[in-house]
Structure 1
Amino acid sequence: MGDTAKPLMMVAVDNSNHSFYALEWALDNFFAKVGSNHLFRLIVIHARPSPNALFGFGGPGTTSTDVISLMDADAKKAAQKVIERVKDACGRRSVSNVPVQSMEGDPRDVITEAVDKHHADILVLGSHGYGAVKRAVLGSVSDYCAHHCSCSIMIVKKPKS
């Protein structure tokens, strides 16, 4: 995977089943053949929320440094579990040496900045499948990336069971 002449595929994950479905789909369709000459280099990006973002609209006294440090430690542990899950998914498909980066911030900003920083040629994202109302309230990371990233976007939808 060290061939820098190949185009770079970036897969963005959170700890949802939808994003891991997208990762596994990309691995199965572009990287899974053992010993084959892959078309892409691969990097996986994980955006973890900052502790302040986890508070939302907390009232007075909710920004105690003790509480923030505990929430930050929990977010880092959760990020480590996501990284381990990524490495496990890659390992089961004999795809090795995949860089996994976990960065703090709003996923929309983290992903678009990572695309620019690494000069990604294609970004793969999972779709949570939110309806119009939920998407309007929560926002859609994939929609934001489709409009703001400087590369091609592949949105992988998990089939309904």
Structure 2
Amino acid sequence: MATVVIAIDESKFAQYAFRWYAEHLHKEEYKVVLLHALENLFMKDMMGPGRHEEFNIKAEKKAVALKELYTKLAQESQVNPEIRVERVDTKPEHAIVDIAHKENAKFIVTGTRGVGVIRRTVLGSTSDFIMHHARCPVVICNMD
């Protein structure tokens, strides 16, 4: 069974990418992993004890909201995914590439915010990183 990893977050760009995948690429035999990599990098060290607990509560609420949102989108699109929100000790784009590799993904789907060349060059881009570092094909969905 081929695995497809779709990077998700709460943005309209990620939702568009999921819908585009469902309409254009999905096959019933695919194992679909909707993945949100929640950056946990140095959070414990950067925050005091109360702030870390606050971060955990917000993270858990975000995870529940994402799972609810994508469960609804999946039902509408007739896709039966595994929805994962994983805390990672690295940047999300690194985790997406690593997890896709571990899952032996056939391909990765991600959205893009469509930022300009200068901003992307200075700040970097999650989709650019995934495209250049993944060991499998990457589908980048742009709303424009």
TM value normalised by structure 2: 0.87
Is the Cα contact below 8 Å between 2:19 and 2:77 reproduced in 1? no
* TM-fit CA distance, 1:49: 2.2
Aligned to 2:85: 102
* TM-fit CA distance, 1:52: 4.1
Quick check: 1:40 aligned with 2:30?
A: yes
User: How far, CA to CA, are the matches of 2:123 and 2:53 in structure 1?
Assistant: 26
* TM-fit CA distance, 1:100: 1.0
Count matched residues: 142
Alignment of 1:1-161 (within 5 A): 4=1, 7-31=2-26, 38=28, 40-50=30-40, 52=42, 63-96=47-80, 98-105=81-88, 106-159=91-144
Q: 1:140 to 1:89 in 2, by over 3 A?
A: same
Q: Which runs of 5+ in 2 are unaligned?
A: none
User: How far, CA to CA, are the matches of 1:52 and 1:137 in structure 2?
Assistant: 23
Q: Which runs of 5+ in 1 are unaligned?
A: 32-36, 56-61
TM value normalised by structure 1: 0.79
* TM-fit CA distance, 1:51: 6.9
